[in-house]
Amino acid sequence: MSRLDEHAATAEFALLLEVAGTPKPGNVDRHRDHPDLHFEQFLAGAVGAREGLAAATEGPIGSAFETAVAGMSRRAGDNTQFGCLLLLVPLVRAAAVGDLSREGVKEVCEATTVADAAAFYRAFEHVDVAVADPPEGMADLDVRRGADAVATVEARDLSLWDVLARTEDDGNADEWTAGFPRTFREAARIRADDGPVADRGAQAFLRLLAERPDGFVRTTVGDAAAREASERAQACLNGEEDPEQLAEAFVDRGINPGTTADITSAALYVALEQGVSM
């Protein structure tokens, strides 16, 4: 296996570790499914994304992302890791060029093109993604338009970085445009922890959820539920609440901190590339 192939393999492994970690309140993990989305589908999605992750080592970022999403959807039959892949693709490229740092990945993101943005919009044709309404004045750039928005992207000469910089209050977009601060901070914590790496990922998930309300929860269930999820994650970290019981309760209520899971997978990838002990 070439060094470039190893970066893609590591990203695939990070996806597998993320879904295997337990408990992650509200998320699919190795102990619990959602009614319409199962653990095995996440395994399939990780495998299906491999071609796109490999393309991220050398090819255009947007095309690599679209390929990864299409492969994920084809294998899993649903949207399992769209947000994870949005974060992993530039991290894989930064690792491939030898600078997996906040500065290195920010350079990768800022160097994206209009063609990358067009591929990003086309990726929404492959899966159904729950997203918030666009900011005022940006209806023609609503990602739910998919490929229909490409003409606007091209007319405005917007790179993928430009598009994500215009996205408001979105945890993944914030990572992209700020040099992945939460990802690298949590990767350091994962490396400092002990125990199985998948379960270190579950602890990282709790820490990330406690520090910021989850955008996916806010979009799908509402602000109050997002704030509650963060408060109860902190209670788990404080030993005041059982994360296993909370996981069951959140699944039953449809509280699914998906953005937090995305950043957890990115942090696991960085920790793996940095040589976390297994």
Residue 117 counted as domain residue:
no
- Domain total of the chain: 1
Supply the mean pLDDT for the chain: 94
pTM for this prediction: 0.96
Predicted local confidence at residue 107, as pLDDT: 97
Give the range among 13-27, 54-68, 156-170 with minimum mean pLDDT: 156-170
Residue 11 counted as domain residue:
yes
User: Could you give the count of Cα atoms lying within 13 Å of 195 in the half-sphere of its Cβ?
Assistant: 12
Q: Which of 73, 111, 79, 75 is nearest to 93 (CA)?
A: 111
Q: Answer whether 250's CB lies under 8 Å from 235's CB.
A: no
Residue 91 counted as domain residue:
yes
Predicted confidence band of residue 278 (pLDDT cuts 50, 70, 90): confident
- In terms of Cβ atoms closer than 10 Å to its own Cβ (0-12, 13-18, 19+), residue 92 is buried
Q: Which of 1, 104, 113 is nearest to 59 (CA)?
A: 113
Residue 81 counted as domain residue:
yes
DSSP conformational letter for 214: -
C-alpha dist (Å) from residue 239 to 190, 207, 242, 243, 244: 19, 13, 7, 9, 12
Residue 134 counted as domain residue:
no
Tens digit of each residue's pLDDT (9 = 90 or more) over 168-185 = 889 999 999 999 999 999
The stretches of the chain forming alpha helices (DSSP H) are: 3-20, 39-48, 50-55, 61-76, 82-96, 102-110, 114-123, 150-155, 160-165, 171-178, 181-192, 197-211, 215-220, 223-237, 243-253, 258-273
Residue 199 counted as domain residue:
yes
Residue 150 counted as domain residue:
no
Tokens 């796109």 sit on residue: 52
DSSP conformational letter for 81: S
Q: Answer whether 153's CB lies under 8 Å from 141's CB.
A: yes
Tokens 């084809």 sit on residue: 74
Tens digit of each residue's pLDDT (9 = 90 or more) over 222-274 = 999 999 999 999 999 999 999 999 999 999 999 999 999 999 999 999 999 99
* pLDDT top residue among 141 and 21: 21
Structure tokens, 114: 């209009």
Residue 54's φ and ψ, nearest 5 degrees, are: -65, -40
Predicted confidence band of residue 130 (pLDDT cuts 50, 70, 90): confident
Tens digit of each residue's pLDDT (9 = 90 or more) over 17-47 = 999 999 999 999 999 999 999 999 999 999 9
Q: Answer whether 263's CB lies under 8 Å from 207's CB.
A: no
* Distance between CA atoms of residues 175 and 160, nearest Å: 13
User: Length of the chain, please?
Assistant: 278
pLDDT surpassing 80 at residue 220:
yes
Predicted confidence band of residue 143 (pLDDT cuts 50, 70, 90): confident
The whole domain housing 70 covers 3-110+170-273
Predicted confidence band of residue 277 (pLDDT cuts 50, 70, 90): confident
Residue 37, helix vs strand vs coil: strand
pLDDT surpassing 70 at residue 198:
yes
Q: Please report, for the domain that includes residue 260, its CATH number.
A: 1.10.4200.10
pLDDT surpassing 90 at residue 206:
yes
Predicted local confidence at residue 4, as pLDDT: 64
Predicted confidence band of residue 1 (pLDDT cuts 50, 70, 90): low
Residue 245 counted as domain residue:
yes
Predicted local confidence at residue 169, as pLDDT: 82
pLDDT surpassing 70 at residue 116:
yes
Structure tokens, 16: 């597998």
